[in-house]
Amino acid sequence: MAKSWLLTDPRGLTCQIIHGNSLEALHAFNNQFDLIMTSPPYADARKKHYDSIKPNDYAEWFCRFHEAFWTALKFNGSLAINIKDKVIQGVRHRYVWQTIESLSTLGWCCIDDYIWHKKTSMPGYWPTRLRDSWEYIFHLAKNTKPFMDQNAVKIPISPITQRRVKNIKDGSNSHAASTTGSGFSRNLSAWKNKTSVLPTNVLYLSTESHNRNHPAVYPVSLPTFFIKLLSNPGDKILDPFGGSGSTAIAAIQLGRHCVLIDNQYEYCLVAKGRLIKECGMKETRKSKVIIANNFAVNGITI
Ligand SMILES: C[S@@+](CC[C@H](N)C(=O)[O-])C[C@H]1O[C@@H](n2cnc3c(N)ncnc32)[C@H](O)[C@@H]1O
């Protein structure tokens, strides 16, 4: 038996939290989501908190969700996966690469790889490596042209660059030498009369500093970036490994609807508490008991 909660905010946005295995719960959601934004359990992690998957089994484990994710996602939608590999007996295990390779064999298009550079990474000493300060976000889609709103994430051109491009004459092909001394140069004339540019695919974000009653919280700024880039206001976002609800917080703050699924009851409660406290949401109907595979969607039990 599992439960679901429906929360709404004054703008009419909804967040449904489902306690259950997303493999089963997603049967109720066909072609509904514009974006699946998630951070699945990492291999061999958090044994005390939730089921741990062995690195060698990870690709096979993750691909069990392929059909459920594919069916739940709209044609132009995206799947963004935040994940990190790990070192085993002194060697980096490649379960993350294996997983992405397997997903591409199953039909997912690997649109791009993003790096989340953690501005505040853990201190420490390792004899054969340095402090690890980044994680992956893989952007996958059902075809090669998923929806993307680049304007939503553009950043202002720095004042230094603005001063440099101001002096470029029209039609000139002015190049600036790379500051790395590599010999490559950038054509700055492309930036003339522009006030903003695309960000790079390296995201510089701090890790979340306060305890969220969950051991693997990502900062709200991470899903915020991808929700802005890969969906429109009013769209519907899914986090099938919802945890403490960071994806939902970002989605509601950005005017999107959200569905969160987590198979740990206490994390569903943490997420619900955060959505009420941080987004001013209200529970609209009493917790609903769901039996086996009969999941309720928007009040209709199917
Ligand atoms: C890495 S954590 C997600 C953390 C989340 N991004 C946050 O910021 O709080 C992964 C979550 O997936 C949940 N989980 C693991 N297997 C699941 C499954 N089959 N269905 C639903 N949730 C699952 C775990 O309980 C855990 O909360």
The structural domains of the chain, with segments of one domain joined by +, span 28-154+198-260, 155-197
Determine the pLDDT at residue 38.
98
The Cα–Cα gap between 191 and 237 comes to 34
Using one digit for the tens of pLDDT, what is the confidence trace for 42-64? Answer: 998 666 555 689 999 999 999 99
Is the Cβ atom of 261 under 6 angstroms away from ligand 1?
Answer: yes
The residue whose CA has the least distance to atom 14 of ligand 1 is: 241
List the residue whose alpha carbon is closest to atom 13 of ligand 1: 241
Opening angle at CA 217, ends 269 and 245, nearest 5: 40
CA distance 50 to 26: 20
| 264-282 residues labelled b (16+ CB within 10 A) or e (exposed) | eeebbbbbbebbeeebebe
Look at residue 219 in the predicted model and tell me its pLDDT.
94
CB 264 near ligand 1, within 6 Å: yes
Q: What is the pLDDT of residue 12?
A: 95
146 Cβ closer than 6 Å to some ligand 1 atom: no
Closest residue CA from atom 7 of ligand 1:
217
Single pTM value for the model: 0.89
Structure tokens at 16: 């449904």
Ligand 1 atom with the shortest distance to the CA of 261: 21
Output the CA 54–ligand 1 centroid distance in Å: 16
Domain 28-154+198-260 of CATH type 3.30.465.10: no
Please state at what angle helix 265-279 crosses helix 246-253, rounded to 10 degrees.
Answer: 30
pLDDT < 50 regions, the chain: 291-302
240 CA to middle of ligand 1, Å?
7
Give the pLDDT confidence score for residue 165 in this predicted structure: 77
